[in-house]
Amino acid sequence: MTAAVLSEGRTVADDLSIWPASTTRLPHGGLAVGGVSLAELAERFDTPAYVLDEGEVRGRCRTYRDAFPDAEVLYAAKAFLSRAMVRWVDEEGLGLDVCSAGELELAVTAGFPPERIVLHGNAKSPRDLESALRLGVGRIVIDGPSEIARIAAAVGPDGHQKVMVRVVPGVSAGGHDKIRTGTNGQKFGLSLTDGGAQHAISRILGQPQLELTGLHCHIGSQILDVKPYLVALRRMVGLMARVRDAHGVVLPELDMGGGHGIAYRPGEPALDLTALARRVRRELVRGCAAAGLAVPRLAVEPGRAIVGPAGVALYRVLAVKRSGEKVFVAVDGGMSDNPRPALYGARYAPRLVGRHSTAAQCTATVVGRHCEAGDILAADVELPSDVHPGDLLAVPVAGAYQLSMASGYNLVGRPPVIAVDEGTARLLVRRETLEDFRSRDIGG
């Protein structure tokens, strides 16, 4: 079969548009990221492995700060978190949003200022709240009515905690039903349409130890269009005006969440960040002027858009199997290190690296090593027809929601994370080993 062709006669294999900006071609089909050969990284650290371009992460943090100069930019830790990631985000001037005591304590013990942290979660555990109050997080986002009394009791009559209310604005947006969180009838937030958000606001304002600083909404993930954000923004400003009218309280903050979509394959669209920032700011100013409100401080929460394009996954081919018309290329990782294709049909563009092939392209499905028919990493992709065991495949845009969602399925062990920057490589997170599994299993 012929190779998939892009504009100007280029094939998919030639296109580096979705790779980190530091990516360069090497002789004999090799690629380097951050000045380091991917083939050499695979030899040094083994496979599967995840490579994270520090310069790309820092550059994307700066892009957000430049796009939203008057807003608070909070990195969404759920996309990927490590001590090094905490340090990079801190040094680039971003805040942090976390969803558990684990994420919170890792960040604070790595030196991140707790007052620049926001705690989320639809079902916060006692440990989550205890850690947040003990460490002094800047905001706790209240996600349900029961949290109001729980937080107030934990704070105590003489305590003080800043909180926000997560509002469901009734906006459908996102790349898949499982990652659309702005509509009614799902587990997150308090509904605007049934009065749940308004009732929660009234209750919070009656708790003197809780300071309601603003409203929060997050309408979904992998959103590629600006319009849903504008619709949600209008509804949030309308609610802020009703809070002012009903309670005489002008809320100073508005957090519009994240979900900014990125391209996973060449030719795919990504959310236009410049347009988003410009149009959100314009709509916020216009809406507040019409309602007679002071313009609140805006916050956004990018995660995937910062770390996703900075990551590359490396796999070694274990087997090639032809079954009828289909070609299956099996690698040494799979759904235990990247469950996204199995969970919601994510699509990737793997590439042969480390050797140059002159063979014609064929349509293949890259599958993992796990005992599940759904363990597919990339369906119907173009690879050289001479792909064989021992070959190295690299998958770009692998930084978000892969290792952070990884599991111990089949006791394979989670891969390491290697940072690259200006020609150097260093291990950030070591490979999970059989000894790790044995040491946790204390039964007999």
pLDDT tens, per residue, the chain with 444 residues? 334 444 444 455 579 999 999 999 999 899 999 999 999 999 999 999 999 999 999 999 999 999 999 999 999 999 999 999 999 999 999 999 999 999 999 999 999 999 999 999 999 999 999 999 999 999 999 999 999 999 999 999 899 999 999 999 988 655 445 444 445 566 678 988 888 899 999 999 999 999 999 999 999 889 999 999 999 999 999 999 999 999 999 999 999 999 999 999 999 999 999 999 999 999 999 999 999 999 999 999 999 999 999 999 999 999 999 988 899 999 999 999 999 999 989 999 999 999 999 999 999 999 999 999 899 999 999 999 999 999 999 999 999 999 999 999 999 999 999 999 999 999 999 999 999 999 999 987
The whole-number pLDDT of residue 247 equals 96
The whole-number pLDDT of residue 444 equals 75
> 3-class DSSP state for residue 39?
helix
In one-letter notation, the amino acid at residue 241 is A
| Alpha carbon distance 401, 46 (integer Å) | 22
The whole-number pLDDT of residue 2 equals 38
In one-letter notation, the amino acid at residue 186 is Q
DSSP string, 189-208: SEESSSSHHHHHHHHHHT-T
Residue with tokens 């119907």: 380
Work out the widest C-alpha separation in the chain, in whole angstroms: 73
Question: Where in 259-415 does DSSP place strands (E)?
Answer: 297-300, 311-323, 326-331, 351-353, 361-367, 376-384, 392-396
Question: Where in 222-308 does DSSP place strands (E)?
Answer: 253-255, 297-300
| Alpha carbon distance 92, 72 (integer Å) | 12
Alpha-carbon 237 to chain mean position: 26
243 φ, ψ to 5°? -65, -45
Answer yes or no: pTM beyond 0.85. yes
In one-letter notation, the amino acid at residue 175 is G
28: left (phi over 0), alpha (psi -120 to 50) or beta: left
Domains of the chain: 7-53+309-436 (2.40.37.10), 54-308 (3.20.20.10)
Strand partners, 31: 25
| Alpha carbon distance 420, 213 (integer Å) | 39
The one catalytic residue in 217, 288, 362, 371 is 371
Q: Is 371 a catalytic residue?
A: yes
Q: Which residues contact 41 (CB under 8 A, 6 or more apart)?
A: 49, 51, 314, 418, 420, 425
Torsion of CA 308, 38, 58, 432, to 10 degrees: 70
| Alpha carbon distance 260, 262 (integer Å) | 7
Q: Which two tokens stand for residue 257?
A: 């969440």
Contact present, 4 and 12 (Cβ < 8 Å): yes
